[in-house]
DNA sequence: TATTATAGTGACCAAACGGTCACTTGTCAA
DNA sequence: TTGACAAGTGACCGTTTGGTCACTATAATA
């Protein structure tokens, strides 16, 4: 995107809202942190609430652009090992991209403040990820890679523990190495449980 | 516990911290809400920070008393249907006890503020529940009710999705009926996946 | 009864905060 | 050159906030 002052303010606001909370964010420090005076903020936004709204707008737009549309669903892996690799690749991004980390933190800590944040939190932490893997699992079942079953239930059973460990990593980043091991162990366990039997490669 | 003023202050503080956040909590309103003046608070606690500390103290003590000790682990059910019943009973409490709900909310929204809250959050949302079910599952495996396997991994795969739905219920309480259905459906799916085969009732 | 400790009050303080406003600077078009 | 406009500044304002203090009331103790 453009690197306008208006956009830079949102960047700084995301950081501050995530780290200090909305109430704990001080407009003077926020502006000073980017070499501006507090009054300058009011040339671009009408109020502190207005800034919060714009931050949420951008989060919504970002999510819609990257995960919201069906064509953004990654192609289903051809093997269970491919599923492991793909998930670990997505996790590597999710666990280290600063903007994504801050977004999660903001959604977690401010989810009870307004309706839009609440909805976004559910999307990020539950339904969004689940829907993506539901499509993938449905495809993998069709291809005979996974046992047949309810792909939605499977996706939920897969993504919820992963999301829990992502949250743990946000909370205790110093334990990342062990957590990543746990993530991989869980995925292997999952694959071991739901992988299709070798003898049933026929398709109807 | 005793119903002293000192204790009542903690009750009110838990509510306010959970609903408005620590920063968003106003000592005047907090005191007025219980028919006191703000100065009275300072007869019992030295500062706002001190009140937060006492609230966390009490949460730690409560958790330790109710879930922390091994003898508090509920007895392992004799059947898979018993597991479902037991879990739904615990969930019924967890989803409706006001103090527990507020505690979760406080831990969620304030988990990045201090180390103790962080640790308590991990305990509440991840390791604590997992450890309880790990023991239960180990026992159920020994009794031949569940397939043999890693009880820790199983407990994680069981509790993480349940916790995710509990969080969803906190966030969107109006959807409780559907969420409880989802909870039950997940548990049934879990049982269907890990229940021991009928033919292998022998014990070593 | 006199004393002392505890719980509570209301006025007060200094700091911090969101927000406003008159003013300056720089840029581009007429 | 001038005029208009957008971007930015610093002083200022009213309000809110955590915290303090002198004072009162009550009840138990000596």
What are the pLDDT digits (tens) for A44-56? 999 999 999 999 9
Query: pLDDT grade, residue B198 (50/70/90)?
Result: low
Band of pLDDT at residue A198, cut at 50, 70 and 90: low
> What secondary structure letter does DSSP report for B162?
H
Tokens of A73: 């669903």
Share of chain A above pLDDT 70, in %: 96
pLDDT at A162 over 60: yes
User: What would the mean pLDDT of B4-25 be, rounded to a whole number?
Assistant: 97
A178 confidence band (pLDDT: 50, 70, 90): very high
In strand D, the nucleotides that come within 7 Å of a protein beta carbon are: 6-11, 16-22
Q: Please, what is the average pLDDT of chain B?
A: 95
| Tens digit of each residue's pLDDT (9 = 90 or more) over A10-28 | 999 999 999 999 999 999 9
Q: Is the pLDDT of residue A160 over 90?
A: yes
- Residue B193, CB half-sphere, CA atoms under 13 Å: how many? 24
A72: Cβ under 7 Å from strand D? no
Question: Three-state SS across chain A?
Answer: CCCCHHHHHHHHHHHHHHHHCCCCCCHHHHHHHCCCCHHHHCCCCCCHHHHHHHHHHHHHHHHHHHHHCHHHCCCCCCCHHHHHHHHHHHHHHHHHCHHHHHHHHHHHHHCCCCHHHHHHHHHHHHHHHHHHHHHHHHHHHHCCCECCCCHHHHHHHHHHHHHHHHHHHHHCHHHHHHHHHHHHHHHHHHHHHHECCCCCCCCC
* Backbone torsions φ then ψ of A18, nearest 5 degrees: -70, -40
pLDDT at B201 over 80: no
Percent of chain B scoring above 70 in pLDDT: 96
Q: Is B164 on the interface with A (CB under 8 A)?
A: yes
Residues A89-113: what's their mean pLDDT?
A: 98
Decide if B36 contacts B4 (C-beta within 8 A): no
User: For residue B90, is pLDDT > 70?
Assistant: yes
Give B76-108 as a DSSP string: PPSSHHHHHHHHHHHHHHHHH-HHHHHHHHHHH
- Residue bearing tokens 């743990």: A168
Residues contacting A91, CB < 8 A, separation 6+: A162, A166, A180, A183
Angle at A73 between CA A70 and CA A76, to 5 degrees: 130
pLDDT over 60 at A200, yes or no: no
How many other C-beta atoms can be found within 10 angstroms of the C-beta atom of residue A15?
18
User: In chain B, which residues have their Cβ closer than 8 Å to the Cβ of A182?
Assistant: 156
A201 pLDDT above the threshold of 70 = no
Q: Inform me whether the pLDDT recorded for A121 exceeds 60.
A: yes
pTM of the model: 0.95
Residue A203: pLDDT above 80?
Answer: no
Contact B36, B10 (CB under 8 A): no
For B169, the closest chain A residue by CA position comes to A122
Q: Which value, to the nearest 10 degrees, does the dihedral of the CA atoms of residues B44, B46, B47, B50 take? A: -80
Specify the residue for token string 């993480």.
Answer: B160
Q: Give the pLDDT confidence score for residue B175 in this predicted structure.
A: 98
* Closest Cβ–Cβ partner in B23, B126, B189 for A157: B189
Q: Which two structure tokens, joined as six digits, stand for B161?
A: 């999705």
pLDDT at B199 over 60: no
DSSP lists the bridge partners of residue B146 as B195
- The per-residue pLDDT for range B17-49, each reduced to its tens digit, is 999 999 999 999 999 999 999 999 999 999 999
Calpha distance A17→A23 (Å, rounded): 8
**pLDDT score of B14:** 98
Query: Which among A101, A105, A151, A161 is the top mutation candidate for probing chain B, defined by the most B β-carbons within 10 Å of its own β-carbon?
Result: A161
């Amino acid at each position: 995107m453009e690197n306008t002052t208006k956009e830079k303010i949102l960047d700084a606001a995301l950081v501050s809202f995530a780290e200090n909370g909305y109430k704990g964010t001080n407009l003077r420090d926020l502006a000073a942190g980017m070499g501006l005076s507090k009054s300058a903020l009011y040339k671009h936004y009408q109020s502190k609430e207005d800034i919060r709204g714009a931050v949420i707008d951008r989060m919504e737009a970002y999510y819609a652009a990257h995960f919201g549309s069906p064509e953004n669903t990654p192609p289903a892996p051809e093997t269970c090992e491919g599923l492991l690799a793909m998930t670990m690749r997505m996790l590597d991004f999710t666990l280290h991209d600063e903007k994504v980390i801050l977004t999660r933190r903001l959604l977690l800590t401010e989810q009870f403040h307004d309706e839009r944040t609440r909805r976004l939190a559910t999307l990020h932490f539950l339904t969004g990820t689940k829907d993506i893997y539901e499509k993938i699992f449905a495809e993998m079942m069709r291809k005979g890679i996974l046992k047949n079953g309810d792909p939605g239930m499977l996706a939920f059973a897969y993504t919820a523990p992963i999301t829990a460990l992502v949250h743990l990593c946000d909370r205790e980043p110093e334990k990342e190495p062990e957590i990543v091991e746990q993530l991989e162990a869980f995925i292997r366990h999952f694959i071991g449980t739901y992988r299709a039997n070798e003898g049933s490669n026929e398709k109807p």
